[in-house]
Amino acid sequence: MIEVYDCPVCGSQELVIVKDHVFHKPIDCPNPPPAHVPYATERLWILFRHILPGTDKIRIKVILCSQCGLMFTNPRMTPDEVAVKYSVIESLESARLRSKLDPPRKIEKRAKRIKAEIERFLGAPVAGMRILDFGGAQGHNLVPFAEKNECCVVDLVKQEMPQGVDYLGKSLDDIPAHYRFNLILLSHVLEHSLDPVTLLSELASNLCENGAIYVEVPLGAFREWRVLKEPLTHLNFFSEQSLSACMRLAGFSRLSIRTRFQWVTHGMNWCVNAIGKLTSSQVEVENHTHASTRKQMKNFRLYVPFLVFKSVEKTKRLILRR
């Protein structure tokens, strides 16, 4: 892992340490970890066995960029270490079993919400388009689009796809050269990325003229940076401000950004939903507003729905256990 001195989004060196975390090698974790081992323990096992062998603990700082508002972990993995991380995850029986034992829930509700959000932005139903879900796993978010559009998934792992959705391959290199998309979905990917602006720019180059991208990330600036359980999964903690900066730097000139308390895969959490469009028309460029990272870090009203949801879930679990 390497210490970085420039913001991974805007390159600024005006960086402030906002939190220090120390992570320890999990003791007594079987090799390889069985499926009942908690997710965070398994990720720490991968970190200390495969990325930092010979190390027992690591200090990870959370940094806030004063310019663009991005919060991120430092030191960061190298691209080679990220490749090791994904190859170990793919090889682990526990990772596969976990998704089978606890599959994503309410997938239809989530997919319909995404479609409604995009149609609100575009001001028209999504039809006759070629759509890519990058990092789209089993293609669930494309189901409401599949009947009237050509739908594709690019993801590291090939899985069975719903009817009307094609798997194109593991990376953007697997997309046929002549393909251009009208719409790209990028849901819960950027928080894992070492270089979010480059990823967004590469996706932008796969869009048609006037193409649009839907980006969804957790509102990491709310509380995740404070209570981080392991440093291997999320490398960036976004706010409306930092996501907006990423999208502008990647060339998306018309933007809509909203923070919502919404269902993701296994529960509800605060997320930032953004839609960006490549457009040269000045008429279409909106002066969208966004909340600053510092404001979203300290907005304690965000805890109200969050704590209500957590306590309802806890009560449900207690009732089911009886």
Interface characters, 67-86, with Zn ion (x: CB under 5 A): xx-x----------------
Q: Is residue 22 classed as helix, strand or coil in its secondary structure?
A: strand
Phi/psi zone of residue 80: left (φ > 0), alpha (ψ -120 to 50 degrees), beta?
Answer: alpha
Q: What is the rounded distance in angstroms from the CA atom of residue 190 to the CA atom of residue 246?
A: 10
Separation in Å, CA 319 to CA 104, 190, 268, 305, 310 = 22, 37, 20, 21, 14
Q: Is residue 315 part of the contact set for Zn ion (CB under 5 A)?
A: no
DSSP secondary structure, 217-248, as one string: EE-TTTTTTTS-S-SSS--EE--HHHHHHHHH
Site residue total, Zn ion (CB under 5 A): 8
Closest distance to Zn ion from the beta carbon of 280 (Å): 26
- Is there a contact between 167 and 160 (Cβ–Cβ < 8 Å)? no
Closest distance to Zn ion from the beta carbon of 77 (Å): 19
Phi/psi zone of residue 70: left (φ > 0), alpha (ψ -120 to 50 degrees), beta?
Answer: beta
Q: What is the rounded distance in angstroms from the CA atom of residue 298 to the CA atom of residue 193?
A: 25
Closest distance to Zn ion from the beta carbon of 70 (Å): 5
Q: Is residue 205 part of the contact set for Zn ion (CB under 5 A)?
A: no
Closest distance to Zn ion from the beta carbon of 235 (Å): 14
Question: CB-wise, 70 or 154, nearer to Zn ion?
Answer: 70
Question: CB-wise, 185 or 200, nearer to Zn ion?
Answer: 200
Q: Is residue 65 part of the contact set for Zn ion (CB under 5 A)?
A: yes
Q: Is residue 197 part of the contact set for Zn ion (CB under 5 A)?
A: no
Interface characters, 217-256, with Zn ion (x: CB under 5 A): ----------------------------------------
Interface characters, 8-27, with Zn ion (x: CB under 5 A): -xx-x---------------
Stretch of 5-13, 16-24, 74-82, 223-231 contacting Zn ion, by CB under 5 A: 5-13
Q: Is residue 63 part of the contact set for Zn ion (CB under 5 A)?
A: no
Q: What is the rounded distance in angstroms from the CA atom of residue 186 to the CA atom of residue 108?
A: 17
Question: Which ranges in 92-136 belong to alpha helices (H)?
Answer: 93-101, 107-122
The site for Zn ion (CB under 5 A) is made up of 7, 9-10, 12, 65, 67-68, 70
